[in-house]
Every structure is written in C-alpha cells, then in structure tokens.
Homo-oligomer: A and B are copies of this chain.
Amino acid sequence: MADSWATLGVDLHLDVGSSGVRKGLTDALREAVRGGRLAPGTRLPSSRSLAVDLGLARNTVADAYADLVAEGWLTARQGSGTRVAERAVSRPVRRPTPPRARGPVAYNLSPGTGDLAAFPRAEWLKAYRRALTAAPIEAFGYGDPRGRIELRTVLADYLARVRGVYAEPDRIVICSGTVHGLILLAQVLRARRVRKVAVESYGLAIHRDLFTERGLGLPPLGFDELGTHTRELGRTRPGAVLLTPAHQFPMGLPLSPQRRAAVVDWARGSGGVILEDDYDGEFRYDRQPVGALQSLDPDHVVYMGTASKALAPGLRLGWLVLPADLAAEVAAAKGVEDWYCSSLDQLTLAEFIASGAYDRHVRGTRLRYRRRRDQLVEALAARAPGVRVSGIAAGLHAVLELPPGTEQSVVQAAAWQGLSVTGLSYFRHPEASGAVRDALVLGYGRPPEHAWAGALDALCGVLE
C-alpha cells in the first residue's frame, strides 16, 4: 500500500512521542483533505495497511481516522471503508492583509482625540499592577451590569469634587464610552415610548445616527452666541434633549446660565430627560470649569463622562450618572450581567483616579493644551489676522471662522499640504436652520508634541 501513502502526500515527522504521532497524522490528513490533495469521495487505505506503511501501531491510525470521522472530514461505513467526506471544502489559506498603509497625511488637526502619544503608560501600568494584584477573585467572573463598585465609588467622589455632579455609586452605570452609553439610553427611551430627542444644530453625526437607527426623531435646536436655544423645546416637545452644556461641541461656547435654568425648567415641567454630554469638562483654561448642569437637578439630567479625552479612546471606558429610575432601566438594558466592560480595566481606572494619578495627568496635559491654544491664537493673529478664533476657553479644539463660501476650498487646500482638518459643515445637523457658517473645527490637542510646531506652521501656511 505504499502507493496509497504517496497518494496522501503526508509529510509526517516521526521523531515525536506517541501521542504526537497520532496528532501529527491527524493534522496531516486533515490538511490533505482541506487543501484538496485528497478529493471528496477518495477511499483511504485501511488502517492496517497504512499502519504497516508508516511503521505505526494500527490503533494509532485507527484513532486518527476516528478523530477525523468525528470532525466530519472522513466518513466510515461498514463495508465501504473510510472515505473523504463529500462536503469537505478545499481552498487555499489566504494571508492576512497588512495593517493599513499610512496615507499622505503629515499632520492631523481633526478634532476627536487629544494627543494619544501623551498616554501615561508608566503610571497606568503601575495602576494596572496594583489593581490586578489586589483584585478580589470574583472580579474575574461575570459582574454587576452597573460596573465595578470600586470604580463607581471613586467616580462618585471624583465627579462631585471636580464637576459638581451629584453622584451616588448606585446611580452610576459604567459603559464602554459615550457611544455605548447613548445606545443604552436610546433603547431605554424607546422602551419609554419617547419618539423624539432634540439635538443641537452642530454635533457628532455618529450620535445622531445611533438615535435615528433606533427609530427616534431628532429635531434640531437653534444656536446663537448664548449657546443652544432652549425655547424650542416647548414647541417640538421631545422626550429628551442631548446637550453639551459646558462646552458646546463643536462651537465651543458654554450654555448661558439663563438657558441652563430654562432647560431644567423644561425637564421638570414636561417630564423630559436632559442628556448632558460632558465630554471634555476637565479641560478649561481661563477660569474654573463651568460645573455640570446635572447638579441643578439630578432627577432630570443624565450626566455622561468618558476617559476618552483625558486618557485615551482605546480604553473604552465611560460612565453615566442617572436619575434613580433610569439607572435601573439602563442597567437592565446593559444586561443581567456586565457583558461589555472588563473588570480589570475598571479596577485600574479606579486605582488611577484614587491614587491621584488621574488629576496629575489632567493637570499636566491641561497646561500643554493651553500652551498650544495660546500659540494657535498668537500665530493666527500674526499670520492670518482675518481668521477669527472662537470656542477657545476650554477643550481640545477651536473654531476658526472663514470667509463665507471658502470652507470646502480651505479643507481641500489643507489636504494638498498633507494637513487633515475638518470643516464645520461636517458637524451640522442636516435639518438645522440658521445661516450656514464657514469654519474649521481644529483639533489642536491631537498632534503629538514633536509635531505640533510643524502642524501649526502648515496650518498658517494654508490660511495666510
């Protein structure tokens, strides 16, 4: 039966232990079937003759055949021997695609993240080590859908101290960032028969899309120099409103005190819910941060925070502080257990905040971002004095107003210089009323430190 062996074309290393021989034979046969070298229907040599051919115990071959029958590669029928199964698929294994090639972008000044190179690797690793060492055994199991109690307790103190949020651990739900939080909220609002969520005229399309996909209408609210209009809430009667009160994204203004009061009054009068996206509340430069709207009425406001701006989006950690009834509903929407958030990451963030490393990191990066902002304002004043800069009291981005009708050409000209920038129109609600404004939304926080000077110079080159 030596020819049957040649047919198989099995390339078998026999210098391994006895269990290895069987595995090697099984693997080689499987590969031969999978790769098409043994065609469907082919009758295999009997286990006795193949064993003689290979100098193996007959049982070893019989076991290998049995394994492959159990896996469905071979079929064995009394009287017709062992054959290659009809359904085995033959195909070449393709190689992985390489990681995305670098584009021609030399500098990225689009908003959305801070300087990712500033991630505090050493401090974070220390916190991870401490968290992993101290983690209770149950932390490795399935957890509370609200998230780890250690993190919720630390966050309650932190948010009260830094953002004036009224936060009890029982009202906090940890999530994988703001998008995950909004998806959970959209589900809960739909279950409450909410049909419309009012949104700002300018904002993130990804947020609008996730509401639309869940069947919610999105009436846009107007915008002026006092921030987003709140009087329209009474007319459009949404079940909820999504706002960025501390630092409107992307326009950069805080919501005026009168409108903060008005939106809370609206929520109380209508039973509506305010969704407060406090995406960069820690980064305010010229005075103490504007406190969270949530503290004005914790029973009508959902506060949303994230580690994406102060630390990194790659961590996928965010938090919701909710009215008590919504906290229960959102936790239930997240699941009967926490299907999403790694307990070790949560314990690490708790340790990172409790140890003071988070505050230190925010202070350090805040200084650097403020310096960049000052350099941006200065450089534009000198080299492109016609460009008005606004929204610069806080955050990691600024709005650069352009002459009417020039936004697209500036974005295009920048791209030709290897500079990625985003026009304001990208953030405009498709149904927004009010005059279209030409501007760039400039993420000055994004470039790594070594690239900042070059990015700023390139930007001025485009605008001057």
Which residues of the partner chain B approach A160 to less than 8 Å between Cβ atoms?
93
Report if A153 contacts B (CB, 8 A).
Answer: yes
Which residues of the partner chain B approach A206 to less than 8 Å between Cβ atoms?
336
Residues of chain A touching chain B, judged by Cβ–Cβ distance below 8 Å, are: 22-23, 26, 30, 34, 63, 67, 69-73, 75, 85, 87-89, 91, 93-94, 96-97, 99, 112-113, 116-117, 119, 121, 124-125, 128-129, 132-133, 135, 137-143, 149, 152-153, 156, 160, 164, 166, 168-170, 176-177, 179-180, 183, 206, 254, 257, 260-261, 264-265, 268, 287-288, 290-291, 293, 295-299, 312-317, 335-336, 338-345, 448
Whether the Cβ atoms of B312 and A261 lie closer than 8 Å is no
Which residues of the partner chain B approach A96 to less than 8 Å between Cβ atoms?
149, 152-153, 156, 168-170
- Minimum CB distance partner of A95 in chain B: B168
Which residues of the partner chain B approach A297 to less than 8 Å between Cβ atoms?
87, 89
Whether the Cβ atoms of A93 and B261 lie closer than 8 Å is no
Whether the Cβ atoms of B264 and A72 lie closer than 8 Å is yes
Bound form: Cα–Cα A288–B70 in Å? 11
Bound form: Cα–Cα A341–B177 in Å? 10
- Minimum CB distance partner of A206 in chain B: B336
Whether the Cβ atoms of A125 and B116 lie closer than 8 Å is no
Bound form: Cα–Cα A78–B345 in Å? 50
- Minimum CB distance partner of A150 in chain B: B99
Which residues of the partner chain B approach A153 to less than 8 Å between Cβ atoms?
96
* Pairs A–B under 8 Å by Cβ, sample size 26: A22-B288, A30-B164, A67-B290, A71-B260, A72-B257, A72-B291, A72-B296, A73-B291, A85-B261, A89-B296, A93-B160, A96-B170, A97-B170, A112-B142, A116-B137, A121-B135, A128-B132, A137-B448, A139-B314, A140-B312, A141-B312, A179-B339, A180-B340, A317-B342, A340-B340, A345-B345
